[in-house]
Amino acid sequence: MTNSEKQSDEIFALQSIFDKKCHLVNNDQYEISIEFNLNTPITIQFNNQTAIIQYLPPLTLIIHYHDEYPSDYPPSFILSCFYFSKINLQKLCQKLDNYPFHQGEVCVYDWIELIKLEINNDFIFHTKYQEQENDPRALNGYTNENVEKIFQYLINYNHERENEQFQNQLQTCLICTDIIRGLDCIRLHRCRHFYCRSCLNNYIQINLNNGQFGEKIHCPQNECMKSLLPTDIKQILGNNNDLYERYERLTLQHSLELMNDILWCPRCQHPVLVNNDADDNLASCNQCYYTFCKKCKEIFHSQTLCRQEYIIQQLKLQKEKEYQRIQREKEEALVKLAQIEREKKSAIERKTVAQKYRQIVLKLSDEQVLLEEVLNAERIESLNTQYCPNCRVRIEKNGGCSHMHCSRCNHHFTWETITKSETSNNTTLIHSFNQNGEPIESVKEELNKIANIVDTSKSDENKEIHSDQEEEDNQQISIDNRSVLGSAIVNRVKQCPYKQCKKYNAKIGEDNWIVCNGCMKQYCFICRRQIYGKQHFKKKCQRFTPI
């Protein structure tokens, strides 16, 4: 049986198993949504917060066939999951690389089973970034800034799936023990206990008759001290508007007592309504006619400053002095930074003149996306970092001597002192035009001044009328390296070698292993050839080279 026949049989088998979760992109590429069927609930942890969940969103596995699978090599793959950290996805990629591959036998289903086993009993979200050798096959949106949002999303996703299962099954009311549909039960939001509507309705009426309202109404379950939310009360009472209005009135009355314009007389403990907008601190009790200061609760002192106000004024003065000092230091730092950027830009311009002529042509509509990719890459490389000579992990130096220790591979090395002329390369070209953090449009305007725009929709023989969108799609922009800004873009981007794609991709750092943002296929930045795994860089090209 040929490789092509085995690949077709494998795709047919996977589609039979996973149905709509297996999506065919083209003849040699498809993606599978892997769902985790957890037999027991797992614990997810973020900082000091923990939650127990039963359901997780799917992980996406993208498979790309090649002519040497399964006779010689396994297929190439990409893993995509937004709630896996980058380092966890890269470890998963390494496990798939190390999985025993038997020549002539398909392996994708075994990979899927291996991925399912990676969910442990504890799932911890780390806020500290852990660096290791970059693997472009690991795609996710996991950053230190959105970890808390991902943690909350997993909780909400689990609640939605639990509600679906709950409504589709028969349930037993915890009060009357009647068996009814889950769709006819009411599940309390905070504690997730459930009861039939009739039992809860009677329970609410008894509590209101006994003077209980607001946070004082708890779940009927023994030893459960979770309060019912107003939305729970509204759902329970349904069309009984009179009873719900009574509940709202009692709750509102209790809330008014907690307002900040109500004070208690320090002499007779009678409530006193005060005017917070008045210029003075006078408060007068209508019960015992005692006049006192709203701030310190002592006898009213009209001619002297309240001691609490004096403390507040002193704190404001200290804060103002600190703010002025920080502003002066900020202005001095900006002046020094501007001088350094001018020196870098002049050195870059001198180096650009000696470069060989190169040119790229892309659609005008793709200009914005390409500029954003190049700008993000150079922002990363503009940090004060160097690569570990042993494992190629990027290390940042923020002080101390030149002796460095890599925490990943325990390698000791000396930090190289780089002069201004050495650092003045293309990695800071975009920042020389966007040094103040202005929008990407400022860089785009500078690029349009030096680039050539070509309209391919019109010719002398046949002139047609096109819409604005069609004209923009037909326009192309030509960028060469004869300018400082053009050199920064041309040296960093290369076109995808696949004929159906031809999308330009930006290189980040020194890694030449590129995953195309358009077709998700992998190629080498140096030779622009198709990559099936790490063996390409062992036999042909170097994995890491500078721009």
Burial class (CB in 10 A: 0-12, 13-18, 19+), 14: buried
pLDDT at 466: 52
Per-residue model confidence as pLDDT tens for the chain (547 residues): 899 999 999 999 999 999 989 999 888 899 999 988 777 888 888 888 888 888 889 999 999 999 999 999 999 999 999 888 888 888 899 999 999 999 999 999 999 999 888 775 556 665 555 556 688 999 887 777 788 888 899 999 988 888 888 888 888 888 888 888 888 888 888 888 899 988 998 898 888 888 787 788 889 988 888 888 888 888 888 877 788 888 887 776 677 566 667 777 888 877 787 777 677 788 888 889 888 887 787 788 877 778 777 788 888 888 999 999 999 999 999 999 999 888 887 777 666 665 667 788 888 777 888 888 888 877 777 777 787 888 777 787 777 788 888 887 888 888 876 544 444 444 444 554 455 445 577 777 877 777 777 666 554 444 455 555 566 566 788 888 777 788 888 888 999 999 888 898 988 888 899 999 889 999 999 999 988 888 898 888 998 888 7
As a whole number of angstroms, the distance between CA 168 and CA 484 comes to 64
SS3 call for 364: helix
DSSP 501: T
Map tokens 């689990």 to a residue. 158
**Lookup: tokens for 145:** 């800034």
pLDDT at 485: 81
- 170-258: CATH topology is Herpes Virus-1 (3.30.40)
Rounded to 10 degrees, what is the CA torsion of 352, 355, 357, 363? -50
Q: Which helix (H) or strand (E) holds 24?
A: strand 22-26
* Torsion angles phi and psi, residue 193, rounded to 5: -75, 150
Burial class (CB in 10 A: 0-12, 13-18, 19+), 288: exposed
What Rg do the C-alpha atoms of the chain give, in angstroms? 33
Residue type, 374: V
Q: For 533, left (φ over 0), alpha (ψ -120 to 50), or beta?
A: left
Map tokens 């008045």 to a residue. 278
Within 8 A by CB and 6+ apart from 235, the residues are 186
Find residue 387's DSSP bridge partners.
394
As a whole number of angstroms, the distance between CA 103 and CA 107 comes to 10
According to DSSP, the β-strands at 194-196 and 185-187 are antiparallel
Output the DSSP codes for 415-465.
Answer: PPP--HHHH-SGGGHHHHHSTT---HHHHHHHHHHHSEEEE-S--SS----
As a whole number of angstroms, the distance between CA 351 and CA 421 comes to 10
As a whole number of angstroms, the distance between CA 440 and CA 434 comes to 8
As a whole number of angstroms, the distance between CA 306 and CA 317 comes to 17
As a whole number of angstroms, the distance between CA 159 and CA 152 comes to 11
The answer to whether residues 224 and 191 touch, using CB atoms and an 8 Å cutoff, is yes
Closest CA to 492 of 375, 374, 383: 374
* Torsion angles phi and psi, residue 140, rounded to 5: -160, 170
Find residue 55's DSSP bridge partners.
none
**Lookup: tokens for 526:** 């140096």
As a whole number of angstroms, the distance between CA 175 and CA 220 comes to 8
Map tokens 């159906």 to a residue. 500
As a whole number of angstroms, the distance between CA 84 and CA 150 comes to 10
As a whole number of angstroms, the distance between CA 525 and CA 302 comes to 78
According to DSSP, the β-strands at 262-264 and 271-273 are antiparallel
**Lookup: tokens for 338:** 């501007």
CA 246 to chain centre: 45
SS3 call for 61: strand
Closest CA to 97 of 107, 83, 87, 82: 107
Find residue 42's DSSP bridge partners.
53
Q: What is each CA distance from 276 to 31, 273, 283, 306, 315, in whole angstroms?
A: 63, 10, 10, 16, 21
pLDDT at 439: 59
Find residue 544's DSSP bridge partners.
511
- 3-161: CATH topology is Ubiquitin Conjugating Enzyme (3.10.110)
pLDDT at 509: 82
Given CA atoms 457, 497, 137, 5 in this order, what sign does their dihedral have?
positive
The answer to whether residues 518 and 503 touch, using CB atoms and an 8 Å cutoff, is yes
pTM over 0.75, yes/no: no
pLDDT at 470: 62
Neighbours of 81 (CB within 10 A): 22
SS3 call for 413: strand
Rounded to 10 degrees, what is the CA torsion of 93, 87, 396, 47? 180
**Omega of the bond leading into 70 within 30 degrees of 0 (cis):** yes
Closest CA to 6 of 101, 76, 77, 108: 108
As a whole number of angstroms, the distance between CA 319 and CA 336 comes to 26
pLDDT at 36: 82
